[in-house]
A and B are shown apart, each in its own frame.
Chain A
């Protein structure tokens, strides 16, 4: 089960291996050539008499040009192919499913959209792109799954992300790859890549307290966020509908994209960046919310989505309880049927 490297377990693994082994083949050919030439010279041109003076040939312009130009061309090819794979890793497919990961000395805490929580394990369905939203509670860690050829550092106070798609059911190592203190080498978890049917069964066993977004919604009410952040009309705070991934004009004149890091910072350090037209009156929630709770709030704000067709949003908030990763087609953050919060809660 703990199969490591040569099989094709992840979406990029196949392309990665192809590139890697092509590089191995090319470099060993050139390397063997150089070694053979060294040995040939050492033997064939060995000193035969103590006083001999060989030909003093020491420059050949065509040779110099060749061995400058050829490597340059090869290097640019390698560069381009490396970029291609990297950019594939940077851009998750549109239908990928979010998973929130909180790293701390020395464990991995994972949260599914359906509300399932795990420690040092992550269950995923085969064939589904999983986008990991990573954040650390303390020092820098790194989320590394060798079988999927992915690695991403996990930073404190800033979300990073990476995605993968398991292609073969199995159990795969999750390592912390950035040195993080005494028990760094014990910060090891497992990825369980499951057949989609088994995964559904697993999800239903694990879901206890509602989806992640519904947890976020509860927090939203508990902390009175809706008092200012109205979903209709104008409150004292910005309307959060469709906020995620939208450009926000700040009072400083800067424009930022409302990604996970921005939303997180705006909750915990609310006065760091003020949206234009609003007063810096929001309380600071640093120390009052855990990273897991912030993740739930982010999942909720993502789930709200834009207002559907200008209509006033309606529908009971309890529907949020159905939202999440249990049925895959409900997991689109903008899916209007399921993503309707209570309107104008005060």
Chain B
């Protein structure tokens, strides 16, 4: 982290101007910072670490599955690998990924604020997150967990001999970080908007992040309760979920998915937020159907709470409950469809420039569409019976989580990189790795749809030989995907030190965050901006942007 402070002053202005990176230096200035931009960077380092950690486990699993009987690990180790992959990726990468890094960094700037509403709470949130992460890593070092990230009972409470409680405590702690961040964002959006920045002048990024924050605050406590109940049952043998003690194992699934389905939207709404900024910028047009897109974020946040039962169509819930959840699952698909159509319509008759962030954004739209459409299969009761708990589901949610969220995250990192670091990255290499990620991703996960339809169950450490060809293809794809993720890590670090200086507004776009220097000064704006235009209003700013 100390190296971060070695940034040379900007060369463009006559006298070196202090920015948030240079105004204070030294390790302590980072560990005790309350600057939302620095905290955003603390999160970037943390989640990047967790991403490559969890990704490494995924790679090991894919290598193991090259042979039908498996060849690298025993079954117990394999089970621990997929469990830790899931836990790390869901709670320590995907959920904090976009909101806590890019959200932290750009949200205050986008609304013309100096910082978040509660800067100290923001720093506390990072410490809590790290404490949760370290606790979970401790569970891993001690011997790992073998329950799957879903902790299904009574296996997790009465049968597993692994470090279930330690991991659950780690996740529970990290949950408080989510709640604090959500609370902070909600308060900030309500109270800190610049003069003139009414709700319908907000960029879609703010709408989507706001919707995400609502879910964070409302759903995460249910996760905490559920994990606490697991602990109580394991330690004190109180019958909650284990029927041998008088509990109900399906109750656990209801409670778990009551959090974890909304959590899916915690992961994907911020991705939609990023893409809703990139596409207008690189089409040089306002987002199509602004209100439809904004309201669809809110609709997803609300309806997302009502569909948890679609994870349980074969778990023993009543047929009528299943029918209701199926219907509501189709309803939540409508706002997603609205967004996809509006993103594509934004490009129509635009001035489209395929720079790296735009490549990622278009890749997102394509992969999210495939992920969403296969969701329609899973929402159909009769179809779900066959494909649930198979690789079809694995492929489906990786299209949303990796094809969607990770693509958008990388797109966002490239989009705001000039603002964050004050440097440009090597464009050709960046485009090349965006393409690598797209191809590697599809080769990894598309075969898994077919595997699932053929009937290969998920969480199998070994599999019948007829599934081998598709597994080998998937492993080949994973290796390509791995390269696609490592290359940006390298060139972005290189660019931080050696990249060309970035102009304040390299993409010539409209957001308030581009009206501050790159990198921004500590308090973002020299003077508080007054907003008289709508979001993405290129027409109103064409003089300033030298357009037309």
Stretch at the interface among B18-26, B169-177, B257-265, B362-370: B362-370
B48 interface residue, CB < 8 Å from A? no
| Closest A residue to B243 using CB positions | A157
Verify A54–B351 contact, CB threshold 8 A: yes
B121 interface residue, CB < 8 Å from A? no
A198 interface residue, CB < 8 Å from B? no
Minimum C-beta distance from B510 to chain A (A): 11
The residues of B that contact A140 with a CB separation of less than 8 Å are: 152, 154-155, 249, 315
Contact with B along A171-208 (1 / 0, CB 8 A): 00101111111111110100000000000000000000
Minimum C-beta distance from B400 to chain A (A): 15
Minimum C-beta distance from A286 to chain B (A): 9
A57 interface residue, CB < 8 Å from B? yes
| Closest A residue to B336 using CB positions | A71
Contact with A along B339-357 (1 / 0, CB 8 A): 0111011111111111000
Verify B538–A181 contact, CB threshold 8 A: no
The residues of B that contact A105 with a CB separation of less than 8 Å are: 159
The residues of A that contact B457 with a CB separation of less than 8 Å are: 144, 175-177, 185
Which of A27, A53, A142, A180 contacts B548 (CB under 8 A)?
A: A53
The residues of B that contact A12 with a CB separation of less than 8 Å are: 382
A329 interface residue, CB < 8 Å from B? no
B41 interface residue, CB < 8 Å from A? no
Interface centre among B331, B349, B457 (most CB of A within 10 A): B457
A168 interface residue, CB < 8 Å from B? no
The residues of B that contact A241 with a CB separation of less than 8 Å are: none
Minimum C-beta distance from A299 to chain B (A): 21
A246 interface residue, CB < 8 Å from B? no
Minimum C-beta distance from A116 to chain B (A): 26
| Closest B residue to A23 using CB positions | B377
Q: Which residues 495-548 of B have a CB within 8 angstroms of A?
A: 536, 538-539, 542, 546-548
Verify A5–B340 contact, CB threshold 8 A: no
The residues of A that contact B366 with a CB separation of less than 8 Å are: 34-35, 38
Distance between Cα atoms of A183 and B285 in the complex (Å): 56
Q: Which residues 10-62 of B have a CB within 8 angstroms of A?
A: none
The residues of B that contact A149 with a CB separation of less than 8 Å are: 385-386
Contact with A along B431-455 (1 / 0, CB 8 A): 0000000000000000000000111
The residues of A that contact B322 with a CB separation of less than 8 Å are: 86
Distance between Cα atoms of A47 and B458 in the complex (Å): 45
Distance between Cα atoms of A64 and B290 in the complex (Å): 11
Number of interface residues of A (CB under 8 A): 84
Given A41-B352, A58-B289, A78-B330 in contact, is the A23-B383 Cβ separation under 8 Å?
yes
Minimum C-beta distance from A63 to chain B (A): 7
The residues of A that contact B222 with a CB separation of less than 8 Å are: none
Verify A82–B380 contact, CB threshold 8 A: yes
Verify B76–A16 contact, CB threshold 8 A: no
Q: Which residues 3-27 of A have a CB within 8 angstroms of B?
A: 4-5, 12, 15-16, 19-20, 23, 27
Distance between Cα atoms of A45 and B458 in the complex (Å): 43
Given A45-B349, A46-B354, A58-B289 in contact, is the A52-B383 Cβ separation under 8 Å?
no
Verify A67–B386 contact, CB threshold 8 A: no
Distance between Cα atoms of A100 and B20 in the complex (Å): 69
Verify B389–A142 contact, CB threshold 8 A: yes
Minimum C-beta distance from A20 to chain B (A): 6
Verify A82–B314 contact, CB threshold 8 A: no
Minimum C-beta distance from B134 to chain A (A): 27
Distance between Cα atoms of A79 and B373 in the complex (Å): 13
B486 interface residue, CB < 8 Å from A? no
B388 interface residue, CB < 8 Å from A? yes
Verify A53–B463 contact, CB threshold 8 A: no
A278 interface residue, CB < 8 Å from B? no
Q: Which residues 26-75 of A have a CB within 8 angstroms of B?
A: 27, 30-31, 34-35, 37-38, 41-42, 45-48, 51-60, 63-64, 67-68, 71-72, 75
Minimum C-beta distance from A69 to chain B (A): 10
Verify B350–A82 contact, CB threshold 8 A: no
Minimum C-beta distance from B45 to chain A (A): 33
Verify B382–A146 contact, CB threshold 8 A: no
B473 interface residue, CB < 8 Å from A? no
The residues of A that contact B191 with a CB separation of less than 8 Å are: none
Verify B284–A54 contact, CB threshold 8 A: yes
Distance between Cα atoms of A23 and B290 in the complex (Å): 30
Distance between Cα atoms of A63 and B338 in the complex (Å): 11
B229 interface residue, CB < 8 Å from A? no
The residues of B that contact A225 with a CB separation of less than 8 Å are: none
Distance between Cα atoms of A186 and B460 in the complex (Å): 8
The residues of A that contact B394 with a CB separation of less than 8 Å are: none
| Closest A residue to B374 using CB positions | A27
Distance between Cα atoms of A84 and B459 in the complex (Å): 30
The residues of B that contact A35 with a CB separation of less than 8 Å are: 366
Contact with B along A95-123 (1 / 0, CB 8 A): 00000000001000000000000000000
A89 interface residue, CB < 8 Å from B? yes
B379 interface residue, CB < 8 Å from A? yes
Minimum C-beta distance from A242 to chain B (A): 25
A258 interface residue, CB < 8 Å from B? no
Distance between Cα atoms of A64 and B337 in the complex (Å): 11
The residues of B that contact A34 with a CB separation of less than 8 Å are: 340, 344, 365-366, 369
Verify A182–B547 contact, CB threshold 8 A: no
Which of A47, A84, A184 contacts B79 (CB under 8 A)?
A: A184
A151 interface residue, CB < 8 Å from B? yes
Verify A51–B462 contact, CB threshold 8 A: no
Which of A42, A51, A54, A181 contacts B160 (CB under 8 A)?
A: A181
Given A67-B338, A177-B457 in contact, is the A45-B289 Cβ separation under 8 Å?
no
A259 interface residue, CB < 8 Å from B? no
Verify B319–A75 contact, CB threshold 8 A: no
Minimum C-beta distance from A139 to chain B (A): 4
Which of B147, B249, B547 contacts A52 (CB under 8 A)?
A: B547
Verify B340–A179 contact, CB threshold 8 A: no
| Closest B residue to A184 using CB positions | B459
B99 interface residue, CB < 8 Å from A? no
The residues of B that contact A90 with a CB separation of less than 8 Å are: 319
Contact with A along B377-421 (1 / 0, CB 8 A): 101111111101110000000000000000000000000000000
B487 interface residue, CB < 8 Å from A? no
Verify B466–A83 contact, CB threshold 8 A: no
The residues of B that contact A38 with a CB separation of less than 8 Å are: 344, 347, 362, 365-366
Verify A76–B376 contact, CB threshold 8 A: no
The residues of B that contact A178 with a CB separation of less than 8 Å are: 152, 389
| Closest B residue to A72 using CB positions | B334
Distance between Cα atoms of A60 and B349 in the complex (Å): 13
Given A38-B362, A45-B352 in contact, is the A82-B326 Cβ separation under 8 Å?
yes
Which of B292, B383, B389 contacts A82 (CB under 8 A)?
A: B383
Distance between Cα atoms of A183 and B76 in the complex (Å): 8
| Closest B residue to A71 using CB positions | B337
Verify A52–B385 contact, CB threshold 8 A: no
Minimum C-beta distance from B397 to chain A (A): 16
The residues of B that contact A88 with a CB separation of less than 8 Å are: 382
B313 interface residue, CB < 8 Å from A? yes
Q: A71-B334, A139-B159, A180-B155 are in contact. List 5 more A-B contacts (CB 8 A).
A: A38-B365, A46-B351, A55-B285, A155-B250, A184-B75
Q: List 23 A-B contacts (CB under 8 A).
A: A5-B453, A30-B373, A38-B344, A48-B351, A52-B351, A53-B538, A53-B539, A54-B283, A54-B349, A59-B289, A63-B345, A64-B338, A67-B338, A78-B376, A78-B380, A83-B326, A83-B381, A144-B390, A150-B385, A152-B316, A179-B458, A185-B75, A188-B464
Seen from chain B, the residues whose Cβ lies within 8 Å of a Cβ on chain A are: 75-76, 79, 146-148, 150, 152, 154-155, 159-160, 243-244, 249-250, 283-290, 292, 313-316, 319, 322-323, 326-327, 330-331, 333-334, 337-338, 340-342, 344-354, 362, 365-366, 369-370, 373-374, 376-377, 379-386, 388-390, 453-455, 457-464, 466, 536, 538-539, 542, 546-548
The 10 closest A-B pairs by CB, nearest first: A146-B455, A85-B382, A82-B380, A86-B381, A53-B548, A185-B460, A41-B347, A75-B330, A157-B243, A58-B286
